Amino acid sequence: MTAEGCIRVGQEAPDFTATAVFDQEFKTIKLSDYRGQYVVLFFYPLDFTFVCPTEIIAFSDRYKEFSAVKTEVLGVSVDSEFSHLAWIQTDKKQGGIGDIDYPLVSDIKKEISTNYNVLDPDAGVALRGLFIIDPEGTIQHATVNNLSFGRSVDETLRTLKAIQYVQSHPDEVCPAGWQEGDQTMIPDPVKSKEYFASV
């Protein structure tokens, strides 16, 4: 955390211990238990709302793609674990989310959303913050959407794969819009011309 209470990329992700719902059971999880793998940590405002289920279901539908690149997904809201469970047990046609493939974390004391600087104090809920945390526990990517529009799973996966690429190829960088398999660039005044000459 910085003196202003904001967190930035390159900083260690604030650890937390919280109750989550996974596989319709209550489990205590710690962020630090996921060291050694990537984590997509995303915040959403509230259970039983409108945009939120579309995001949560979209991440669950694509969960295998995250798992295939050694990444866990964690969803967080200020609801209780009991609310999470009720929402999971509600049919999708009735505004529920059904079973999902990753844990939903309860932040009922609003400590996690405060530590990640995504709590909207006026609304009392978390903004749509999303953080990609690397295996060392360092935040590599952070975005925050306002309440009324959702995020893109495609863009999250693209960014995650770019992070993983540059971390495994430290002498290369990924240009704008880079997709897995695309050409990268060597950040050198001479060597970068190879990339620019090819586009």
- CB of 185 within 8 A of CB of 172? yes
pLDDT at 191: 85
Torsion over CA: 119, 85, 87, 35 (sign): positive
Tell me the mean pLDDT in the region 152-161. Answer: 97
Q: Is 52 a catalytic residue?
A: yes
- Give 106-144 as a 3 state SS string: ECCCCHHHHHCCCEECCCCEECEEEEEECCCCEEEEEEE
Is the predicted pLDDT of residue 157 greater than 90, yes or no?
yes
Which tens digit of pLDDT belongs to each residue from 80-130?
A: 999 999 999 999 888 899 999 999 999 999 999 999 999 999 999 999 999
Rounded to the nearest 5 percent, the helix, strand and coil shares of the chain are 30, 25, 45
Instruction: Determine what percent of the chain is predicted with pLDDT higher than 70.
Output: 97
User: 59: burial class by Cβ within 10 Å (0-12, 13-18, 19+)?
Assistant: buried
Residue 46 tokens, joined: 């509230």
Give dist(CA 165, CA 131) in Å, integer.
17
Place of tokens 């709590």: 119
Which tens digit of pLDDT belongs to each residue from 27-64?
A: 999 999 999 999 999 999 999 988 888 899 999 999 99
Torsion over CA: 103, 108, 111, 114 (sign): positive
β-pair type (25-30, 139-145):
unpaired
Torsion over CA: 153, 155, 156, 161 (sign): positive
Residue 102 tokens, joined: 């990753």
pLDDT at 5: 61
Q: How confident is the model at residue 173 (pLDDT cuts 50, 70, 90)?
A: very high
pLDDT at 197: 87
Count CB-CB contacts under 10 A for residue 136. Answer: 11
Domains of the chain (ranges, CATH numbers): 17-151 (3.40.30.10)
> What is the overall mean pLDDT for the chain?
94
Is the predicted pLDDT of residue 3 greater than 60, yes or no?
no
Residue 129 tokens, joined: 């913050």
- CB of 1 within 8 A of CB of 116? no
**Pick from 55, 21, 24: nearest CA to 40:** 55
> Per the confidence metrics, is the pTM higher than 0.85?
yes
β-pair type (71-77, 104-106):
parallel
Torsion over CA: 178, 51, 139, 164 (sign): negative
Catalytic residue chosen out of the listed positions 39, 52, 100, 130: 52
Q: How confident is the model at residue 1 (pLDDT cuts 50, 70, 90)?
A: very low
